[in-house]
Amino acid sequence: APVIGVLALQGDVREHVTALATAGAVARAVRRPDELAGVDGLVVPGGESTTISKLAVLFGLMEPLRTRVRAGLPVYGTCAGMILLADKILDPRSGQETFGGIDMIVRRNAFGRQNESFEAAVDVDGVAGGPVEGVFIRAPWVESVGAAAEVLARHEGHVVAVRQGNALATSFHPELTGDHRMHALFVDMVRDRQGAGSL
């Protein structure tokens, strides 16, 4: 089974570990560069993207992570994790850097103004069996995507799921539901990458 790390600096790490294990991966928390080196894929959880970004710099993970993402490490970011996989953030707070990986511009807290938190059924391209239950918590949306990025889902016209090569991102939190089809999609991406050759 593929070994998939969950970036464990801040955020809902445990829920992702459970979801990944259910979807057939060996899941591990990743806090240090040597732990990052041992995984075949990485989930960047929801939480607070500014905090995760600052801790990544502090823990010496920012550069190793960027390097591995550029080299094709499969990554999946949910909510704050989506923000961290964006090549660009609209109005970044001072000091907020991203790992990058997806040619998109993300707007933080985009759904937050009217609604701090809500649930909605979301149809995701590549996920069979009907819409997934989208849990949105002060969620970002994708303002624009570059040519290489593929839009997988929208909610009320706003892009909420994107894939570019081995990088996947959703505005919502499938790890907080019992439906692990998004994680299964990601585990398949990691398996495909392993099948295609070494990292």
- Neighbouring residues of 11: CB distance < 8 A, sequence distance ≥ 6: 45, 46, 47, 48, 52, 80, 81
- Residue 53 as a binder of ligand GLN (CB under 6 A): the answer is no
Note if 79 is an active site residue. Answer: yes
* Chain centroid, CA 157 distance in Å: 20
DSSP-derived secondary structure letter, 176:
G
Residue 47, annotated ligand binder? yes
Q: Identify the CA nearest to 139 among candidates 126, 128, 125, 153.
A: 153
- Neighbouring residues of 195: CB distance < 8 A, sequence distance ≥ 6: none
- Residue 77 as a binder of ligand GLN (CB under 6 A): the answer is no
DSSP-derived secondary structure letter, 192:
H
- Residue 48 as a binder of ligand GLN (CB under 6 A): the answer is yes
Name the catalytic one among 15, 16, 155, 173: 173
- Residue 83 as a binder of ligand GLN (CB under 6 A): the answer is yes
The 28-47 site mask, x for binding ligand GLN (CB under 6 A), equals ------------------xx
Note if 173 is an active site residue. Answer: yes
Residue 105, annotated ligand binder? no
- Residue 89 as a binder of ligand GLN (CB under 6 A): the answer is no
Catalytic amino acids? Answer: 79, 173, 175
Q: Which residues bind ligand GLN (CB under 6 A)?
A: 46-49, 79-80, 83, 108-109, 137-138
